[in-house]
Amino acid sequence: MSLLPSTINHHPSSLPRIIAIIPAAGKGKRFGGITPKQFLKINGKEILAYTLEVFQKAKRIDEIIVAASREEFPRIIKLQKKYKLTKLTIIVEGGKERQDSVYNALIMADLNKNDLVIVHDAARPLLSQKVLGEAIRCAEKNGNALVCLQAKDTLLKKTKTEHTYLNRSQIYYIQTPQIFRYNQLLSAFEKAKKEKFVGTDESMLVERSGKKINLSEGSPLNFKITTKDDFEMLKRILK
């Protein structure tokens, strides 16, 4: 773990504290290349820096915790200093799975049970303040918020023997941020750990623990950099 200098302005006690956890330990195997995709540069700035600046600028965010591989700690510390990311206070070592990385960050957070935890992908840099703000309001009202985008295209499910057209009005693409009450998320992680269950995201763990998941509207611009085509699209948008 690395503790970084910061100047945190806490909200009045009537408001919950809100921290953002950014899992950034991924190697980007689907993307390929030597440099993990979150550290690739566009206009001289790393993708991770664009992502972190979203939360740095958001007034409601109190603190940012990044989970990363230990060899990347120096690089993240440089980003913190270069871009004056004063809300980035802790870097923790990531784990084998995304779930392990988020859990490592979660247990380092200094939070009360009703404070809010935001988990957001490191390689999803175009999150707007509008989408983030609406998700926070949803979570404050309902206990959690899952940012999603309703499917617009015609969807086809293919098996070896048949094709089935799906009702797109019932299909949503899950994005991040995903926001939860601290006690709700921690309890879901501990249940999954005890039962050796690995989910693809936090909402799966929380839903599995018996909690209703509340949807908040996402954006087509809030896409994740997974392939080289995604990277090229991001370059064109940021030109």
pLDDT tens digits, 178-231: 999 999 999 999 999 999 999 999 999 999 999 999 999 999 999 999 999 999
- Judge if pTM exceeds 0.85: yes
Which parts of the chain are beta strand (E)?
A: 2-3, 18-23, 41-42, 45-46, 63-68, 88-93, 116-119, 144-150, 155-158, 163-166, 172-181, 215-217
Instruction: Identify the CATH assignment for 2-7+14-149+175-238 out of 1.10.10.350, 3.90.550.10, 3.20.20.210, 3.50.50.60.
Output: 3.90.550.10
CA distances from 101 to 36, 104, 190 (A): 16, 5, 14
Whether the Cβ atoms of residue 123 and residue 225 lie closer than 8 Å to each other: yes
Sequence letter at residue 100: D
pLDDT tens digits, 32-75: 667 889 999 999 999 999 999 999 999 999 999 999 999 999 99
Q: What is the DSSP string of 35-83?
A: S-GGG-EETTEEHHHHHHHHHHH-TT--EEEEEE-GGGHHHHHHHHHHT
User: Residue 26: pLDDT band by 50, 70, 90 thresholds?
Assistant: confident
Closest CA to 124 of 20, 237, 22: 22
pLDDT tens digits, 100-154: 999 999 999 989 999 999 999 999 999 999 999 999 999 999 999 999 999 998 9
**CA dist., res. 237 & res. 239, Å (int):** 6
Closest CA to 108 of 190, 195, 181, 186: 186
* CA 15 from centre of chain: 22
Map residue 18 onto helix, strand or coil.
strand
pLDDT at 208: 96
User: Residue 12: pLDDT band by 50, 70, 90 thresholds?
Assistant: low
